[in-house]
Amino acid sequence: MSLISLSDYRRSAKQVAFDRRELMSILNLYSQRVARGEWRDYAIDSLPGMAVFSIFKSSFEKPLFSIVKQPGGKRGDYLLFSGREKLAQGRTLDDVFTRIEKQLVLVR
């Protein structure tokens, strides 16, 4: 068994986070959907190599959508998931927001 220094691990793990501009953009969309009664809760996670903003219809359910920020790649920095299904990938948040806007809304 070998010991791993926590400080060495932290330096090697690429920390990714949403910046203020990104969070404001996501929260603006989120607040619009909350006002319509479509969404009710969210969670922000910081995982090794990615940041995730998850959107929930209810606190007791799985996320409807997860917006993932990852370090720049060839195909895009942002991903949109619904469960395990990748719905969109883009260079900007607006690229993935477009896909959210195209989702059908349940008519009551």
Q: Over the chain, what HEC string results?
A: CCCCCHHHHHHHCCCCCCCHHHHHHHHHHHHHHHHCCCCCEEEEEEECCEEEEEEECCCCCCCCEEEEECCCCCCCCEEEEECCEEEEEECCHHHHHHHHHHCCCCCC
Domain membership of residue 75 (yes or no) is yes
Domain total of the chain: 1
Structural domain for 69, as ranges? 14-102
Is 83's pLDDT higher than 80? yes
Domain membership of residue 92 (yes or no) is yes
Domain membership of residue 5 (yes or no) is no
Is 104's pLDDT higher than 60? no
Domain membership of residue 1 (yes or no) is no
In single-letter form, the type of residue at position 62 comes to: K
Q: Does the pTM exceed 0.85?
A: no
Q: pLDDT tens for residues 65-75?
A: 999 999 876 65
Is 3's pLDDT higher than 90? no
Average pLDDT over residues 12-41: 91
Domain membership of residue 8 (yes or no) is no
Is 29's pLDDT higher than 60? yes
* pLDDT, mean over the chain: 85
Window from 1-10, 25-34, 78-87, 97-106 with minimum mean pLDDT: 1-10
Domain membership of residue 108 (yes or no) is no
* Percent of the residues in the chain that have a pLDDT greater than 90, as a whole number: 60
Domain membership of residue 60 (yes or no) is yes
Domain membership of residue 57 (yes or no) is yes
